[in-house]
Amino acid sequence: MSSEIFVWPFNLGLYFILIYSVVRSTVWFRNLSRPDKLRLQRGFFGIPFMQSIKEIFMESLLHRRIFKKNFVLGYMHMSLAFGWFLLIVFGTIEADFFGEKHLNPPSHAIFFRAFNPDHGAVGLARAYTHLMDFLLAFILSGLLLAVIKRFIPSMMGMKKTTKHTWSDRTALLSLWLIFPSRLLAESFTCGTYGSGGFLTGNLGAALASFLPAAEIAPWFWWLYSLALGTFFFLLPVTRYFHIPIELLLIFMRNSGITTGDKSSSYTEVQTHACSSCGVCIGVCQMSYAAGINDIQSAYFIKGLRSDRDIAAITANCLMCGRCEEACPVGIELGPMRLIERRQGERPDTAKRFLERYSLTGRRSTIERESTQSYGYLVREEAESADVLFFAGCMTHLTPSVISAMKKIMESAGVRYRFMDEQGGVCCGRPLMLAGRDREARELINHNSDIIWKSGARILVTSCPICYKIFRESYYLEARVMHHSEFINLLIEEGSLRLGYLHRKVVYHDPCELGRGSGIYEEPRAVISYVAELQAVPEEGTMSLCCGGSLGNLTLSSGKRALIAADAARSLTMSSPDELITACPLCKKTFGQATGTRVSDIAELVAAALPKPVKKSRGRPARVTTKSLNHG
C-alpha cells in the first residue's frame, strides 16, 4: 500500500485518548486528599502494586467475577477484552519481529497486514499468521454474543440491559465495526496477494474469486481506521471510558483508598469506572419485584457522569446493598448514593456547564441546609449499668421482641438497664440515610451522652439499623452488640440454658446486619442451637431486602408490599414452620406479606428457654466479667 494517510484517524484518536487519560489522571491525583495521595504513592511501590496487577489480569482482562455469574456473559467480556489485548500484544511482536525496522509506531502493528500484504507465506511467519487469525476469530465470537445480548438480553442470563445515550450508541457502533472491518480488510488484502491464515486467507480467496479485491481492500482499511479513531475520540464521554479508568480504580482501591463521606477524586474515578454492564439492574428487587426500572445504580452513575439532576433517582433506593455486592467492578454504590443524598440543590446551569467541561469535571452542589433541630431534647441523668439495652424505635412496635429479650437476659442473669424503656431518642440512622447528617449528629450526641454516663461496657441493641450507626458513627467505649451476637455470647459462655425446639426454620439476613455490618454467622449459630435451620435460595451476602427499608424516602407502600411479597415467597419456598429474622422492621414487613409465622431471633430463643422461667435477679453477672476481657 503506497499511501499511509488512512492510518491518521486511528493515530489522532490514539494520541488524543492517551493525552486525555494522562491529563485527567493527573488532575484526579492532584485533587486527592493528602492522606489518600500518600496511600496511593505507598501502594504504587509495594505489595498492593502486585495485587493490582493480578486483579487487573483477573478482572479487567479475564473478567473472573462475570464468569462466576454467568459463563456466556463472562466469555463475551473475556473474548473482547483479553482477545483484543492479546491481538495488540502479539500484533506488536509481529510488527517488531517481521517488520522492516524495530520500535515501530503503534499503527504499524495495528495495520500490519496493510503494510506487509504478502507476509506469512512459509514457516514460522505462517504459523504466526494462523495465531493472529485465531485471536481475531476469538474476538469475533465474543462480538457475535455481544450483538445477540444487545437484542435478546435473556439469552445471556440478563434480565435487563442498560438503556444507552446517543454517544454510547455511536461508540458501540464503532466498537462493533472495528473487528469485522479488520477481518474484511485483511481478507481482501490477503485475497489479492494469496497470503493469510486459516480465516483471512480462505475468506480472502473466496471473496477475491468474484470481487475486485485489490480495489475494495483500501476502503475497509479506511473503515477500520475510522472505527478505531471514532471509538477513541468518543471514549471520554461514553461508558467505554471504564476501560482505562478501571485500571486506575483498581490501583486506588488496593492502595487502601475508600469512598468516605464526601465527594472526591475517588468518587469521580468510580463514576467513570462503571461500565453500565447492567448487573445491578438484574439483582435490584425494585426492578424485578416492583417494576421500577429507571433508578438502578447503573442509571444513578450515568446521571452523575452526565451531570443531570438525579435527586429523584438518588432518593428512590432501598439502600439494601445487593447491587454493591454484585457489582463486577467493585464500585461502592451505597456510600456514593449517600454522598449524593447529602448534597443540597444544584448550582445554576452556567456554572455547572463550565464545571462539566473543565478538566476536573467535579460535580458541585450547594450545601444542604439543616431542616431539623432537636434543641428540645433534655439530657437525662443516666443510671450506671454494665449492660445497656437499647431496643430502638422499631423494636417498640414489636413488644414481643422486647419481652423476649427481657426474659433471655433475666434467665442468663445479666444485670442490664433498659435505656429506652420509656421511649428513647432515635439513633440517627434514618436521618443519615435521608442525607441529613448534621441533624443526625445531634441525636448521636444525645444518645452518646447517655451511654457514656451509664458507664456500660456492653451496649446491646435489637435493631440492626441502630446497630450499624452505633458501630460506625458513635464514638463509644462500650462494645456494641446486636442481640443475636449477645445471645450467641451468652450461649457460648454457658450462661443461657436452652432446650431444643423441633421446628424447621429459615433465616432472613436483614440488610443492615448482614451486608451492612457483616454479621452472618452469629445469628445462624444461635438458630442452629435451638432449632433446625434450613437453607434459602438467596442468603448471606445476596440476601433479599424485606422492602420496608428506611433507606427509601419516596417508595410507596404498595410497591413496598410487592417487594415484601416477592422476598417472602422466595424465603418460604421450602415451607418452613417459621421465618426468623433479626430486625423488627423486617418482622413487621414480612408479617403482612406471608402466611408463615414470622419471629425475631430473640423470640425463638425465648421459646426455647426452660419453663417456668427462673427469676434470678441478684446473681453475679457472669457475662459481663468474662466478655470484657476480649471486648
Partner 1 sequence: MSVRQANRFGFGINQSRQINYDTSDRKVRDYVTLREPSFRLCFACGGCSATCTAGEHISFNLRRMITLIRRGEIDLLRDEVTRCMLCGKCMLVCPRGVNTRNVVAMTAEAIRKLDRNEL
What is the binding site for partner 1 (CB under 8 A)? 369, 371-374, 376-378, 393-394, 396-397, 422-426, 430-431, 434, 436, 443, 548, 550, 553-558, 585, 588
Residue among 415, 440, 436, 437 nearest 425 (CA): 440
Question: Which C-beta is closer to partner 1: that of 91 or that of 424?
Answer: 424
Measured between alpha carbons, how far is 364 from 345 in angstroms, rounded to an integer?
9
Residue with cell 448487573: 279
Closest distance between partner 1 and the C-beta of residue 488, in Å?
Answer: 27
Closest distance between partner 1 and the C-beta of residue 593, in Å?
Answer: 13
Give the DSSP H or E segment for 597: strand 597-600
Q: Is 381 exposed, middle or buried, given 0-12, 13-18 or 19+ CB atoms closer than 10 A?
A: exposed
Closest distance between partner 1 and the C-beta of residue 627, in Å?
Answer: 30
Helices of type H across 417-482? 429-433, 437-454, 464-473
Closest distance between partner 1 and the C-beta of residue 328, in Å?
Answer: 33
Closest distance between partner 1 and the C-beta of residue 32, in Å?
Answer: 33
614 to 310, 389, 409, 427, 610: CA distances (angstroms):
57, 20, 11, 33, 9
Closest distance between partner 1 and the C-beta of residue 392, in Å?
Answer: 9
Give the DSSP H or E segment for 624: helix 622-630
Closest distance between partner 1 and the C-beta of residue 484, in Å?
Answer: 21
Question: Contact, 413 vs 616, CB < 8 A?
Answer: yes
Question: Which C-beta is closer to partner 1: that of 329 or that of 444?
Answer: 444
Question: Which C-beta is closer to partner 1: that of 394 or that of 544?
Answer: 394
Question: Which C-beta is closer to partner 1: that of 72 or that of 425?
Answer: 425
Question: Which C-beta is closer to partner 1: that of 431 or that of 571?
Answer: 431
Measured between alpha carbons, how far is 266 from 362 in angstroms, rounded to an integer?
11
Question: Which C-beta is closer to partner 1: that of 93 or that of 397?
Answer: 397
DSSP codes of every residue in 72-120: HHHHHHHHHHHHHHHHHHHHHHHHHHHSSSSS--HHHHHTHHHH-TT--
Q: In this structure, how many other beta carbons lie within 10 angstroms of the beta carbon of residue 128?
A: 18
Question: Which residue(s) pair with 461 in the sheet?
Answer: 390, 482
Closest distance between partner 1 and the C-beta of residue 313, in Å?
Answer: 15
Rg of the chain taking only CA atoms, in angstroms? 30
Question: Which C-beta is closer to partner 1: that of 434 or that of 607?
Answer: 434
Q: What is the DSSP secondary structure assignment for residue 154, as one 8-state letter?
A: G
Give the DSSP H or E segment for 526: helix 521-530
Question: Which C-beta is closer to partner 1: that of 128 or that of 467?
Answer: 467
Closest distance between partner 1 and the C-beta of residue 511, in Å?
Answer: 14
Question: Which C-beta is closer to partner 1: that of 209 or that of 422?
Answer: 422
Cell of 262: 464526601
Question: Contact, 611 vs 570, CB < 8 A?
Answer: no
Measured between alpha carbons, how far is 304 from 356 in angstroms, rounded to an integer?
11
Question: Which C-beta is closer to partner 1: that of 369 or that of 381?
Answer: 369
Closest distance between partner 1 and the C-beta of residue 361, in Å?
Answer: 28
Residue among 246, 264, 257 nearest 21 (CA): 246
Measured between alpha carbons, how far is 44 from 247 in angstroms, rounded to an integer?
13
Question: Which C-beta is closer to partner 1: that of 43 or that of 435?
Answer: 435
C-alpha torsion 277→161→64→62, nearest 10: -70
Question: Which C-beta is closer to partner 1: that of 392 or that of 576?
Answer: 392
Sign of CA dihedral 483, 487, 493, 496: positive
Measured between alpha carbons, how far is 512 from 549 in angstroms, rounded to an integer?
9
Closest distance between partner 1 and the C-beta of residue 548, in Å?
Answer: 8
Measured between alpha carbons, how far is 318 from 320 in angstroms, rounded to an integer?
5
Closest distance between partner 1 and the C-beta of residue 282, in Å?
Answer: 27
Helices 464-473 and 437-454: crossing angle in degrees, nearest 10, is: 90
Question: Which C-beta is closer to partner 1: that of 48 or that of 548?
Answer: 548
Closest distance between partner 1 and the C-beta of residue 378, in Å?
Answer: 7
